Amino acid sequence: MSSVQSPPNAQRNLTSIQSFLLREEAKHPNATGTLTWILSALTLSAKFIAARVRRARLEDVLGSLGGDNVQGEQQQKLDVIANETLIRCLGSRPGVAILGSEEDEHAHVLRRDTKSDRPYVVLFDPLDGSSNLDVNGGVGTIFSILQHDRRAPRIEDSALQPGTQQVAAGYVLYGPSTVLVLTTGAGVHMFVLDPDVGSFLLVQEHLRIPVASKSYSLNSANIGTVPEGYRNYVNWANENGYSMRYTGAMVADVHRTLLTGGVFLYPPTAKAPKGKLRLMYEANPMAMLIEQAGGKAYSGTQRTMEQQPSGLHERTSVIIGSPDEVDNVLRFLT
């Protein structure tokens, strides 16, 4: 009789993300199952992308393609691979009317006949922080799901809804382990990919962000060109024993902030007067997750998710994290 004890977690939480989603779906008698379909397409994409990221150096898919994407940023080979993977997985699912990607200038309109049902809009950043790839740093996929808005003047404008309209949001962090964090509006839940089983297993339900923690995260190289209020906040935090952590990948910095508390900031800068991060597929989904976990998310002094978007790739400033720490930043901006 072998004496090797399997770790308690594996015994307790043999809940795959599929069974978790079906359990959540069963709580909504009018659910059509389409959202579950879309979320399973996203988890399938994450497994493919995780495998490619893991083998990137071995398969020589690191580095840039030499061209820029619609954001004017160097496009990494894996940006394109991740983008194509998501479009192939989501594109085959019924119920997806529109896809919007950081890597593509225009939204992909997959369905125009939306009279019979209410399909969804899926927006995503295929590989956030991709400049970290070459140095084996954490990178991730961020996604936001909205219901299609038939009232939109042009069908692709259906995506331009405030973050408060999101029905689901999440991210995948491709780090030492592959972690998926998800909300469908009923709390925040964390899954880890078991590479042996090939399934995302539930490891924590109803995550809550710590109310306060003396830690902030921003690119301090920009401190010279951010508005004065942010500089005053950073000086105050440094004088009050705060630590600073920054990886250069929003997914990794927000994940750490969700688990250990603190605040992540990307203020307006001289280079990016509106902020660098994208509202639709970076700031809004992260805002929904953090608010669902008891935190706060602001752009300047406005709640991020209340902003009315005007374009798929519009940028915004970000202050996101523990409620008390976000309040500490806002004190210096008002």
Judged by the rule CB under 6 A, the positions of this chain that interact with ligand FBP are 73, 102, 125, 128-131, 219, 248-250, 276
Neighbours of 117 (CB within 10 A): 14
Length of the chain: 334
For 256, which DSSP code?
A: H
CB of 92 to ligand FBP, least distance (A): 24
Which CB atom, from 128 or from 149, has the smaller least distance to ligand FBP?
A: 128
Query: Could you tell me the smallest distance in angstroms from the CB atom of residue 220 to ligand FBP?
Result: 9
Instruction: Please tell me the distance from the alpha carbon of residue 79 to that of residue 130, in angstroms, as a whole number.
Output: 7
Positive or negative torsion for Cα 31, 119, 159, 200: positive
Q: Which is nearer to ligand FBP, 126 or 309 (CB)?
A: 126
User: At closest approach, how far in Å is the CB of 217 from ligand FBP?
Assistant: 9
Q: How far is the CB of 53 from ligand FBP (least distance, A)?
A: 13
Rounded-to-integer distance, Cα 148 and Cα 168, Å? 13
Q: Give me the least distance between CB of 98 and ligand FBP, in Å please.
A: 20
Classify strands 263-266 and 318-321 as parallel, antiparallel or unpaired: antiparallel
Dihedral sign for Cα 265, 299, 171, 8, please: positive
Q: Which is nearer to ligand FBP, 102 or 149 (CB)?
A: 102
* Crossing angle between the packed helical segments 323-331 and 228-239, to the nearest 10 degrees: 120
DSSP-assigned letter for residue 117: S
Q: Inter-axis angle of helices 77-91 and 34-54, to 10 degrees?
A: 150
Closest distance of CB 250 from ligand FBP, Å: 4
In the complex with ligand FBP, the residue whose CB is nearer, 107 or 254, is 254
The number of CA neighbours under 13 Å toward the Cβ of 331 is 11
For the CB of residue 91, give the shortest distance to ligand FBP in the complex, in Å: 21
- CB nearer ligand FBP, residue 49 or residue 202: 49
Q: Is the dihedral of CA 58, 59, 60, 62 positive or negative?
A: negative
